[in-house]
Chains A and B, each alone.
Chain A
Amino acid sequence: MSVITAIKLKKRTSRWSELVRRLEHGDVIFRLLTLAAGMLVILAAIGIGFELWQNSARPRAEFGFDFLVGTNWDPVIEDFGALPFLYGTLQTSLFSLLIAVPIGLGIAIFLTELAPDWLLQPVGFVVELLAAVPSVIFGLWGLFVFVPVVVKPFAQFLNGTLGWLPIFEGPVFGPSRLAATLILSIMVLPTLVAISRDVFLAIPPSQREGALGLGATRWEMITQNLIPYGLSGILGAVILALGRAMGETIAVTMVIGNNLDLSASLLHPGYTMASLIANEFTEATTDMYREALILIGFVLFGLTLLVNIIARLLVWRVARRIPTESRA
């Protein structure tokens, strides 16, 4: 009797230990779990594109590629074209980079090459806080303070002195593509600074020592050695900031004026793809209308995806050379 139970017991434990061995003490399960979580992340990235594509079938069938060049947006007769919004998004984001890139690079250079140690932390902290301010608060401040106090006088000045240029053509409005451009240039600063600072930090000191040893001034060292050395990383930072600017929604919606306009002038109110979606999505009563907005979303998604892939490839190339502590 006791012999039989002993044998049974032994059999059971051996079966148990066999199972444990097969599962490598639970590692197989754990590995499957981590794999599943990883697949979820991949699935989310693919799922976004798929859902946007799937839910915009009607306007795609109706307009085809003409959707991208159509200049009319009229929900009443269901005639939809994306050009004014595409144009607004590209104009505001590109011009905002024109302002933000020199300033952002200046800050990154200041932080990595010039600032005394006691200034490093506070300035870096301020830039990080600027990144943390919610978009809607930028919009609120922009709408009630920045636009009337800064943008409108500035726009009047530009129109008065350079009004003969098409991009500064009148009449002058407060809420305008210029307002969106200026707000965006503040909002993309942290992205620019964080990544280009990492790029500058990744450049080996020997580059600096070599240039200074040959008699270059610090500015010559920066422009002739550091910037060419880190160029692909800096370009990556710029393009990543472009992606940010293109997708920025609430703050832009609040200051851009929301107006279909294809003129060259920065001083006119305009519209971006993101602000169109924010403004009209909940009002879209018909399927066609809603799907046209989702198709706008798909175009925006495609653009930011393209921009991000290019940027990541550029940043990865630099970062792989020397691993940095953190990447944004």
Chain B
Amino acid sequence: MQSSLLSVTQNDQRLNYRRRQAVNQVMLGLCGVAALIAILPLAWILLYVVQRGYGSLNLDFFTQLPTPVGVAGGGVFNAIVGSAMVVGLACLMAIPVSLIAAFYVYERPNTLLGTLIRFSTDVLSGVPSIIMGIFAYTVIVLTQGHFSALSGGFALAIIMTPIALRTTEEMLKLVPKTLREGSLALGAADWRTLLQVMLPAAISGVITGIMLGVARVAGEAAPMLFTAFGNPFFSAALDQPIATLPHQVYVYAISPYKDWQDKAWATALVLIALVLSLEVVARGVTSWQQRKLRGR
């Protein structure tokens, strides 16, 4: 009696153990499948954009202005210049502010103001980009009375600021404290220490952060709709509407014309090549940096 009971529970345990192992194997396998699922859309998008866009690419596409519907040829020269201008403007506005504000947050992380700035940064990074567009619209377009490259740059600057600020702060935190203490002990002022000791030590990380920010805002179409507005002609003026690559993709894509839709793919290929190469270089620099640090 006793022994049979024991064997029953043993048998149960063995079954139970086998069931648990099976569940374990299946679920862990599913986690691997999830990783595959992430790769699928990326590969599909990249391959398809290259396949559809490659045929329309030639030198003219980079040097000519857009042509009207039905006219073959033409390019997106104005949108390339426009994107460069708007993103450049965004950098001019966002980089100084976010670097200097990052110094404040780094020096006084736990004061009321430091917490408030960090909180505001988090709030800004969560605000949808289209809202930034409305903000730029009410602040600049409404007061000036017309769409402009400047307002587009302003909208992108606000999107970029939290990214640049956050990374700079994290990078400053990674610099060994001894460097800072050494500089202060030699009698250098705070600003000298930050600018000439801390910043150079953190610079590659800071540049990486800025590049990631640029990659992010260069692909933004939503805030461009009613700030930079788009322009079928060439313009390099600050106070005129200006074409940008992502906005051009949008305009071409939702048009009912077949030849414009083909151009949407070509423009998308230019845009995605630009954004992803920025991203790849930035990530490459980071991992190279980490390997160098680990090697020491």
Contact = CB atoms under 8 A, between A and B. Distances in A.
Interface of A: 24-27, 29-31, 33-38, 40-42, 44-48, 51-52, 54-55, 102-107, 109-111, 113-115, 121, 123, 125-130, 132-141, 143-145, 186, 189, 193, 217-220, 240, 243, 246-250, 254, 274, 277-278, 281-282, 294, 297, 300-301, 304-305, 307-309, 311-312, 325-327
A123 B38 contact: yes
A41 B161 contact: yes
Given A51-B139, A132-B275, A220-B20, A34 B107 contact: yes
Contact of B131 (A31, A143, A301): A301
B215 A132 contact: yes
A110 B33 CA distance: 9
A294 B134 CA distance: 7
A140 B42 CA distance: 14
Contacts of B126: 240, 243, 247, 304-305, 307-308, 311
Contact of A126 (B39, B122, B132): B39
B123 A134 contact: no
B189 A135 contact: no
Nearest to B251: A136
A55 B38 contact: no
A189 B158 CA distance: 24
A36 B100 CA distance: 9
B133 to A, nearest CB: 8
A246 B130 CA distance: 11
B171 to A, nearest CB: 10
B120 interface: yes
The list of the 6 closest CB pairs from A to B, nearest first, reads A247-B128, A134-B219, A106-B34, A308-B126, A30-B191, A37-B100
B271 interface: yes
A23 B215 CA distance: 40
B131 A41 contact: no
Interface stretch (B55-63, B71-79, B220-228): B220-228
Contact of B28 (A51, A114, A128): A114
Interface stretch (B4-12, B231-239, B260-268): B260-268
Contacts of B261: 144
A281 B31 contact: no
Nearest to B43: A126
B265 to A, nearest CB: 7
A41 B31 contact: no
B181 interface: no
A218 to B, nearest CB: 6
A-side interface mostly: helix
A123 B22 CA distance: 26
A40 B271 contact: no
Nearest to A311: B126
Given A34-B104, A219-B27, A254 B253 contact: yes
Most-contacted residue by chain B among A30, A104, A130 (CB, 10 A): A30
Nearest to B269: A137
Contacts of A111: 35
B135 A52 contact: yes
Most-contacted residue by chain B among A29, A38, A105, A186 (CB, 10 A): A38
Interface in B264-287: 264-265, 268, 271-272, 275-276, 279-280, 283, 287
Contact of B45 (A41, A42, A138): A138
A109 B31 contact: yes
B138 interface: yes
A299 to B, nearest CB: 11
B253 A143 contact: yes
A274 B222 contact: yes
B185 to A, nearest CB: 15
A135 to B, nearest CB: 7
Contacts of A30: 189-191, 194
B123 A308 contact: yes
Contacts of B15: none
Interface string B147-190: 00000000000100100011000100000000000000000011
A103 B49 contact: no
